[in-house]
Chains A and B, each alone.
Chain A
Amino acid sequence: DTGVSQNPRHKITKRGQNVTFRCDPISEHNRLYWYRQTLGQGPEFLTYFQNEAQLEKSRLLSDRFSAERPKGSFSTLEIQRTEQGDSAMYLCASSLSTKGYGYTFGSGTRLTVV
């Protein structure tokens, strides 16, 4: 197992376009988290799944954002009608435990909206 994999690593898109990111967690991990990190800030919680169920969504996650985790395996995060303010690093993490030390983060997808 190579850890948490995120694709693509980088994405440049024009304002108004839709983008989709993928996260493949560690196979035995049932929890999957999405965070967003902007310059000079720490990771901010967006949403998380336990198996295929989306259990919590941050108010940061506007209606333009949607996340899925079909069959409790990989997850996708889609942003519709991207805005320049969406430019950030999108981090995925997975864990077996509710304790933060169980988180394994991927390397992230860097989104640039031009």
Chain B
Amino acid sequence: DQQVKQNSPSLSVQEGRISILNCDYTNSMFDYFLWYKKYPAEGPTFLISISSIKDKNEDGRFTVFLNKSAKHLSLHIVPSQPGDSAVYFCAASVNGDDKIIFGKGTRLHILP
């Protein structure tokens, strides 16, 4: 049972344009959402998060949007840079639960 779903295995975006990565979830108990970035041969690294009481959180070039009614969140990267090429994981947790649940990931390719 995939509680966090990333339906696009890969995405290619021109350098300088906007990258939009999407994520859907099924567990209505999730109240904290995160995006992790992973380069080959490295562990995932935390990128940005959002609490369920918010609908937007911004950090530099990265913005996460949360639509609770649709159980959907998205990560926007503007402008996209070559170093953004990586696998991006959407993740979620339930308040008070120490583990986070990851999606399958989306591989982002930034094209020159």
Chain A positions near chain B (C-beta within 8 angstroms): 4, 31, 33, 35, 40-45, 48, 50, 55-56, 91, 93, 98-103, 105-108
Known interface pairs A48-B98, A98-B96, A100-B100. Does A43 touch B44 (Cβ–Cβ under 8 Å)? Answer: yes
Q: Give the dominant DSSP class at B's interface.
A: loop
Are B89 and A56 in contact, with the CB atoms below 8 A?
A: no
Contact of B43 among A40, A99, A105 (CB under 8 A): A105
Interface residues on B, range: 20 to 34
CA distance A102 to B103 in the complex (A): 18
Are A48 and B93 in contact, with the CB atoms below 8 A?
A: no
Chain B positions near chain A (C-beta within 8 angstroms): 4, 6, 9, 32, 34, 41-46, 49, 89, 91, 93, 96-105
Are A56 and B98 in contact, with the CB atoms below 8 A?
A: yes
Least Cβ distance of B95 to chain A in Å?
A: 9
Are A44 and B100 in contact, with the CB atoms below 8 A?
A: no
Query: What are the residues of chain B within 8 A of A106 when measuring CB–CB?
Result: 43
Q: Which residue of A lies closest to B9 (CB)?
A: A40
Q: Which residue of A lies closest to B91 (CB)?
A: A100
